[in-house]
């Protein structure tokens, strides 16, 4: 069975020949520092893992390694970027967005591993009207997507995601306005928060219609860590995440795209809500060692089994990076038996890694090959 067949069979809630094993996405830092600058597809083949390739082109995202220097422009949305510092491990960029209705500013920082927001674009409630009227929605190049899909071939699957600094509406909002302040607003000014989420949803649905219809993706990512129950309560998730998530998943299903809902944090107290949002898969099944709260995979399988594919579960720091081959093998077997004994499971590093030895990645791939159906 090829890697593509193995991954797709698991996404279809079936049993492949053996446990699929992969990582969420390969970071440029790790490829450069540990793998000689090879491509993500080459890295998957080198380590023996099943490939998940993420497609980021044409998005103009503020958190990618270029820190937004390829920002999407539009007639009513002109973004100028001032480079304050440009050291590899200390980048600071100031962004000024000029619209017919006013000026917005934000600032980002970054190093060789990641990027972050230093100043949020929404400063006052009225600012969301400028976002609603003028913030552009990029259009993907389907020919480029097709070329990437064909290049992967049987080595794995091509993943896309719904446009935005995060794919989910609440999660995207937390990139535009501080998360802790948004939580307070949700309790004190819920109508304003819903107005913000609604404008983001409208733009995301437009992106789905214009860019994802007919695009050759195997899986589309939605969600994001800010919906985790380690950040917000189940009540807030039910009101401010679930209705918007369900609309996106319904739209993706209507155009024939599979979806996976990303929750890189706590999930245990919102499993029933995640099941209601209509996605085809849930990730990242994060354990406590990486900020999640899943300690007993069988409890997740009891809710999701046969109804929702599961992706993730492997502690990328305390097991995959610093663990011994024996520990990696034992944990892979535990996850297989806990999440995946009935199929519908892709074992994966729960999120990004940066210092992981290549031999440990090969040990993970070898351990998965021993977990047969």
pLDDT of 279: 98
What residue has token string 């993907």?
140
Q: What is the pTM of this model?
A: 0.96
Token pair for residue 192?
């304003």
92-115 residue pLDDT tens: 999 999 999 999 999 999 899 988
275-315 residue pLDDT tens: 999 999 999 999 999 999 999 999 999 999 999 999 999 99
pLDDT of 68: 52
- List per-residue pLDDT tens for the chain, 373 residues long: 999 999 999 999 999 999 999 999 999 999 999 999 999 999 999 999 999 999 987 776 655 545 455 677 899 999 999 999 999 899 999 999 999 999 999 999 989 998 899 999 999 999 999 999 999 999 999 999 999 999 999 999 999 999 999 999 999 999 999 999 999 999 999 999 999 999 999 999 999 999 999 999 999 999 999 999 999 999 999 999 999 999 999 999 999 999 999 999 899 999 999 999 999 999 999 999 999 999 999 999 999 999 999 999 999 999 999 999 999 999 999 999 999 999 999 999 999 999 999 999 999 999 999 999 9
Domain positions in the chain are 3-59+138-369, 68-127
Give the C-alpha separation, 72 to 81, whole Å.
Answer: 12
Closest residue by Cα to residue 177 from 93, 119, 264: 119
- The answer to whether residues 89 and 39 touch, using CB atoms and an 8 Å cutoff, is no
Residues 6+ apart with CB under 8 A from 318: 289, 290
Helix boundaries (H) for 105-241: 127-134, 142-152, 169-176, 179-188, 190-207, 234-240
Residue 27: in which H helix or E strand, if any?
none
How many CB atoms within 10 Å of residue 54?
A: 15
- The answer to whether residues 146 and 152 touch, using CB atoms and an 8 Å cutoff, is no
Token pair for residue 136?
């552009």
C-alpha 11: how far from its chain's center? 16
Q: What is the dihedral of CA 340, 344, 350, 353, to 10 degrees?
A: 100
Give the C-alpha separation, 368 to 274, whole Å.
Answer: 27
Q: Give the class (CATH, top level) of 3-59+138-369.
A: alpha beta
């Amino acid at each position: 069975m090829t890697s593509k067949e193995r991954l797709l069979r698991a996404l279809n809630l079936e049993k492949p020949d053996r446990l699929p094993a992969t990582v969420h996405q390969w970071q440029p830092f790790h490829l450069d520092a540990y793998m000689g600058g090879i491509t993500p597809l080459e890295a998957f083949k080198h380590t023996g893992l099943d490939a998940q390739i993420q497609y980021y082109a044409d998005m103009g995202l503020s958190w990618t390694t270029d820190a937004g220097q390829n920002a999407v422009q539009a007639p009513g949305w002109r973004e100028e970027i001032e480079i304050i510092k440009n050291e590899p491990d200390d980048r600071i960029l100031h962004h000024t967005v000029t619209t017919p209705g006013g000026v917005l500013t934000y600032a980002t920082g970054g190093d060789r591993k990641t990027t972050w927001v230093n100043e949020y674009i929404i400063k006052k409630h009225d600012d969301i009207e400028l976002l609603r009227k003028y913030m552009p929605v990029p259009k993907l190049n389907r020919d480029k997507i097709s070329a990437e899909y064909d290049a992967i071939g049987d080595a794995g699957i091509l993943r896309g995601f719904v446009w935005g600094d995060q794919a989910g509406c609440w999660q995207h909002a937390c990139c535009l306005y501080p998360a802790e302040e948004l939580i307070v607003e949700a309790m004190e000014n819920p109508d304003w928060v819903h107005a913000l989420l609604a404008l983001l949803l409208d733009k995301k649905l437009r992106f789905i219609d214009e860019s994802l219809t007919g695009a050759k993706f195997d899986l589309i990512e939605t969600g994001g860590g800010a919906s985790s129950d380690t950040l917000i309560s189940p009540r807030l998730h039910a009101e401010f995440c679930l209705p918007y998530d369900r609309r996106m998943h319904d739209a993706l299903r209507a155009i024939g795209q599979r979806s996976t809902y990303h929750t890189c944090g706590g999930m245990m107290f919102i499993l029933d809500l995640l099941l209601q949002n209509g996605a085809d898969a849930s990730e990242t099944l994060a354990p406590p060692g990486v900020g999640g709260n899943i300690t007993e995979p069988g409890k997740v399988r009891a809710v999701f089994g046969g109804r929702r594919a599961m992706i993730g579960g492997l502690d990328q720091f305390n097991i995959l990076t610093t663990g011994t081959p024996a520990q990696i093998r034992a944990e892979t077997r535990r996850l297989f038996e806990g999440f995946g004994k009935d199929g519908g499971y892709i074992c994966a590093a729960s999120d990004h890694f940066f210092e992981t030895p290549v031999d440990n990645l090969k040990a993970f791939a070898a351990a998965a090959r021993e977990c047969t159906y």
